[in-house]
């Protein structure tokens, strides 16, 4: 049996006295204690054991812990270590069989108890060490958000994002130092939040209320074309929805968006599930800026953007679960690199609008099979005083499963 040398103990604002007997035993018997200033200050002033204070980057401290493998080490963590916590980070490097984890109530659980929300019916996210633009994809009418804050400035940042998005009426509740003697609740609305002072240790509850006339953006594929900055190199709304359906995003899956244009396919891939990952490859420098701006505006700031021309730019990228080729299908060697890189069971989807592109897709179809589809969309537009049908350029789509 593997020896459990590492313990991770969740601790609340009530300190050591709030620990269960098992959790207190793990703290007391450890030879090395790891934590932040706030946690280490909860120990007795005459505690002579070795202390490790978290460093920046935190990976340096993780290495220090690993170097002490086999010693009795206890990590003090806030709340539930496996809820956006240090337990998740350590689990990536240390087998679970070598550690014992004792959680305290998470910040989300405590917040739900304070505001009276069901934890199963809220959206949860962390802005601690993460881009604030992540919030953008969580906002919709009636959404209830619980947010782990980075510090005293985070509530004002959240209020500004909500107001700029047209959700200034949203109710914001800031919960400070929950579970301790200095617990406090501060309430307000996004538009009127201004410079309300809050403690650095806080969580944020948001009841999203849209201003009159605001049109919400769904997470389903097919955002309005005007949701994107672009120079015309944009997969149009209807074709985009069909293309995402063909790509079949699943949680955690990785997409290569080759010839990404303004990034609409990879952005909506990531919006479909917050665990989805994507890499946008584009050679046009102006479009790279569009991709970055669109990703931030639409809540996918973790989209990886690579400048370069395929297939050369695809070298050494992580193995994709799906590949979309939106431009440059006639590039020499592109299919061979993409098909070889794709994992077994992965999907390759390509869209073209030219005769030469169709010829290329037919050649690929001859090699590995798949499905060819012609997508023709017409939109009603004014013709004088009346409406008439205006056809968009037809798109030929090829779908193949490896």
Tell me which residue of 304, 360, 305 sits closest to 328, measured CA to CA.
360
C-alpha separations of 207 from 125, 168, 252, 350, 359 in Å: 14, 11, 28, 41, 52
**174 in Cβ contact with 198 (< 8 Å):** yes
317 in the same domain as 390: yes
Cα–Cα dist 154/200, whole Å? 9
Does 219 fall in a domain?
Answer: no
133 in the same domain as 94: no
295 in the same domain as 176: no
Cα–Cα dist 160/135, whole Å? 11
User: b vs e for 173-208, b when ≥16 Cβ sit within 10 Å of the residue's Cβ?
Assistant: bbbbbbbeeeeeebebbbeebeeeebbebbbbbbbb
179 in the same domain as 90: no
396 in the same domain as 300: yes
DSSP at 335: H
Last residue of a domain, one of 43, 72, 104: 104
Supply 39's token pair.
């946690």
Does 215 fall in a domain?
Answer: no
**265 in Cβ contact with 240 (< 8 Å):** yes
Please name the residue that has the structure tokens 């290329």.
Answer: 360
Last residue of a domain, one of 152, 181, 207: 207
| Residue 184: half-sphere exposure toward Cβ, Cα within 13 Å | 8
Q: What CATH number does residue 55 fall under? A: 3.40.1010.10
Supply 280's token pair.
């946008």
Does 220 fall in a domain?
Answer: no
234 in the same domain as 172: no
Q: What CATH number does residue 280 fall under? A: 3.40.50.150
The backbone region for 263, taken as left when phi is positive above 0, alpha when psi lies in -120 to 50, beta otherwise, is left
Last residue of a domain, one of 104, 132, 162: 104
Classify residue 212 as exposed, middle or buried by CB count within 10 Å of its CB (0-12, 13-18, 19+). exposed
83 in the same domain as 140: no
Question: pLDDT at position 325, please?
Answer: 97
Does 385 fall in a domain?
Answer: yes
Sign of the CA dihedral running 307, 311, 312, 315: positive
Does 142 fall in a domain?
Answer: yes
Question: pLDDT at position 196, please?
Answer: 83
**What is the number of residues in the chain?**
402
Question: pLDDT at position 1, please?
Answer: 57
User: Under 8 Å CB-to-CB from 316, ≥6 apart: which residues?
Assistant: none
Q: 18: how many CB neighbours lie within 10 A of its CB?
A: 17
Classify residue 286 as exposed, middle or buried by CB count within 10 Å of its CB (0-12, 13-18, 19+). exposed
Strand order in the sheet with 304-307: 304-307, 277-282, 254-258, 322-325, 347-352, 395-401, 371-375
Q: What CATH number does residue 191 fall under? A: 3.30.950.10
The whole domain housing 40 covers 6-104
Tell me which residue of 61, 12, 69, 16 sits closest to 34, measured CA to CA.
61
Q: Cα 53–59–60 angle (5° rounding)?
A: 55
Total structural domains within the chain = 3
Does 217 fall in a domain?
Answer: no
Does 212 fall in a domain?
Answer: no
Question: pLDDT at position 195, please?
Answer: 76
112 in the same domain as 99: no
- Tens place of pLDDT for every residue, the chain, 402 residues? 578 999 999 999 999 999 999 999 999 999 999 999 999 999 999 999 999 999 999 999 999 999 999 999 999 999 999 999 999 999 999 999 999 999 999 999 999 999 999 999 999 999 999 999 999 999 999 999 999 999 999 999 999 999 999 999 999 999 999 998 999 999 999 999 987 889 999 999 999 999 999 989 999 999 999 999 999 889 999 999 999 999 999 999 999 999 999 999 999 999 999 999 999 999 999 999 999 999 999 999 999 999 999 999 999 999 999 999 998 999 999 999 999 999 999 999 999 999 999 999 999 999 999 999 999 999 999 999 999 999 999 999 999 999
60 in the same domain as 77: yes
Tell me which residue of 29, 70, 23 sits closest to 49, measured CA to CA.
29
301 in the same domain as 270: yes
254 in the same domain as 124: no
232 in the same domain as 379: yes
Does 366 fall in a domain?
Answer: yes
Question: pLDDT at position 194, please?
Answer: 82
């Amino acid at each position: 049996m593997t020896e459990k040398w590492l313990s991770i103990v969740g601790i609340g604002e009530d300190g050591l006295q709030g620990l269960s007997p098992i959790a207190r035993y793990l703290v007391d018997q450890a030879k090395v204690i790891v934590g932040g200033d706030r946690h280490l200050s909860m120990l007795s002033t005459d505690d002579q054991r070795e202390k490790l204070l978290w460093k920046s980057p935190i990976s340096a401290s993780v290495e220090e812990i690993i170097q002490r493998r086999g010693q009795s080490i206890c990590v003090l963590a806030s709340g539930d270590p496996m809820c956006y916590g240090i337990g998740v980070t350590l689990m990536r490097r240390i087998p679970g069989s070598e550690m014992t984890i004792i959680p305290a109530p998470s910040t989300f659980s405590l917040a739900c108890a304070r505001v009276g929300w069901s934890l199963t019916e809220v959206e949860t996210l962390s802005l601690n060490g993460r881009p604030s633009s992540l919030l953008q994809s969580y906002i919709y009418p009636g959404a209830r958000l619980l947010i782990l804050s980075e510090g005293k400035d985070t509530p004002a940042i959240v209020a500004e994002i909500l107001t700029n998005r047209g959700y200034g009426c949203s109710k914001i509740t800031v919960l400070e130092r929950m579970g301790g003697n200095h617990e406090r609740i501060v309430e307000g609305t996004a538009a009127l939040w201004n410079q309300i002072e809050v403690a650095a240790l806080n969580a944020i509850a948001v009841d999203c209320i849209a201003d009159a006339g605001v049109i919400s953006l769904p997470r389903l594929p097919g955002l309005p074309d005007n949701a994107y900055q672009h120079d015309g190199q944009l997969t149009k709304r209807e074709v985009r929805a069909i293309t995402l359906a063909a790509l079949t995003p699943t949680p955690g899956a990785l997409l290569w968006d080759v010839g990404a244009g303004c990034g609409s396919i990879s952005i909506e891939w990531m919006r479909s599930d917050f665990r989805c990952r994507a890499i946008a490859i584009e050679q046009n420098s102006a479009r790279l800026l569009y991709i970055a701006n669109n990703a931030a505006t639409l809540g996918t700031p973790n989209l990886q953007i690579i400048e370069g021309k395929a297939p050369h730019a695809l070298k050494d990228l992580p193995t994709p679960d799906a590949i979309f080729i939106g431009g440059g299908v006639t590039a020499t060697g592109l299919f061979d690199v993409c098909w070889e890189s794709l994992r077994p069971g992965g999907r390759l989807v390509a869209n073209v609008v030219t005769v030469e592109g169709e010829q290329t897709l037919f050649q690929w179809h001859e090699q590995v099979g798949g499905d060819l589809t012609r997508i023709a969309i017409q939109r009603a537009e004014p013709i004088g005083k009346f409406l008439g049908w205006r056809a968009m350029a037809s798109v030929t789509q090829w779908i193949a499963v490896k």
